[in-house]
Amino acid sequence: MTDFETHEHDVLVIGAGGAGLRAAIAASAEGVSVGLVCKSLLGKAHTVMAEGGMAAAIGNVDDRDNWRVHFADTMRGGQYVNNWRMAELHAKEAPECVKELEAWGAVFDRTADGRILQRNFGGHKYPRLAHVGDRTGLEMIRTLQDHGIHQGISVYMECTTIELIKDGARVIGAFGYDRERGRFRVFKAKAIVLATGGIGRAFKITSNSWEYTGDGQALAYRAGADLVDMEFVQFHPTGMVWPPSVRGILVTEGVRGEGGILKNKDGRRFMFDDIPDNYKNQTADNPEEGWRYTQGDKNSRRPPELLTRDHVARCIMREVRAGRGSPHGGVFLDIAWIKEKLPHAPDHIKKKLPSMYHQFKQLANVDITAEPMEVGPTTHYIMGGVRVNGDSQMSTVPGLFAAGEVAAGLHGANRLGGNSLSDLLVFGRRAGRYAAQFAKENGAGSLDKNQVERAAKWALAPFDHSGAGENPYAVQEDLQTMMQDNVGIVRREDEMKEALQGIARLRERMARVRVTGNREYNPGWHTALDLLNLLTVSEAIAMAALERKESRGGHFRDDFPDKDPAAATYNHVTFRGPDGRMQLRRETIPKLPPELQQVVEENK
Ligand SMILES: Cc1cc2nc3c(=O)[nH]c(=O)nc-3n(C[C@H](O)[C@H](O)[C@H](O)COP(=O)(O)OP(=O)(O)OC[C@H]3O[C@@H](n4cnc5c(N)ncnc54)[C@H](O)[C@@H]3O)c2cc1C
Probe ligand 1: pick from 25, 196, 382, max atoms within 8 Å of CB?
A: 196
**Residue 466's pLDDT is what?**
77
What single-letter amino acid sits at 237? P
Q: Band the pLDDT of 278: cuts 50, 70, 90.
A: confident
- pLDDT mean over 262-289: 94
Measured in Å, residue 140 CA sits from the centre of ligand 1 at 12
With CA atoms as reference, report the closest residue to 236 among 433, 489, 505: 489
Q: Which of 47, 19, 18, 3 is nearest to 435 (CA)?
A: 19
pLDDT (average), residues 310-324: 92
**In the structure, which protein residues have their CB atom closer than 6 angstroms to any atom of ligand 1?**
14-20, 37-40, 45-47, 49-54, 136-137, 160-161, 195-197, 207-208, 211, 215, 250, 381, 404-406, 417-421, 424
Look at residue 309 in the predicted model and tell me its pLDDT: 87
User: How far are the Cα atoms of 11, 97, 162, 439 from residue 27, in angstroms, in the given order?
Assistant: 7, 16, 23, 10
Residue 377, pLDDT above cutoff 80: yes
50 Cα to the center of ligand 1, angstroms: 8
Residues 542 and 499: beta-carbon distance below 8 Å: yes
- pLDDT for 335-362, tens place per residue? 999 999 999 999 999 999 999 999 999 9
Per residue in 407-429, pLDDT tens? 999 999 999 999 999 999 999 99
Rounded Cα gap, residues 27 and 379, in angstroms: 32
pLDDT tens, 302-314?
Answer: 999 999 888 999 9
Alpha helices in 248-391 (DSSP H): 254-257, 287-294, 309-321, 345-352, 354-364
Q: Name residues whose C-beta falls within 8 Å of residue 223's C-beta, 6 or more positions apart in sequence.
A: 164, 166, 171, 397, 400
191 C-alpha to ligand 1 centroid (Å): 21
Distance 47 CA to ligand 1 centre (A): 4
Local confidence band at 562 (pLDDT 50, 70, 90 cut-offs): very high
- Determine how β-strand 154-156 pairs with β-strand 34-37: parallel
236 catalytic residue (yes or no): yes
* 268 counts as catalytic: no
Which residue among 147, 247, 256, 314 is the active-site one? 256
* Of 431, 462, 442, residue with least CA distance to 177: 462
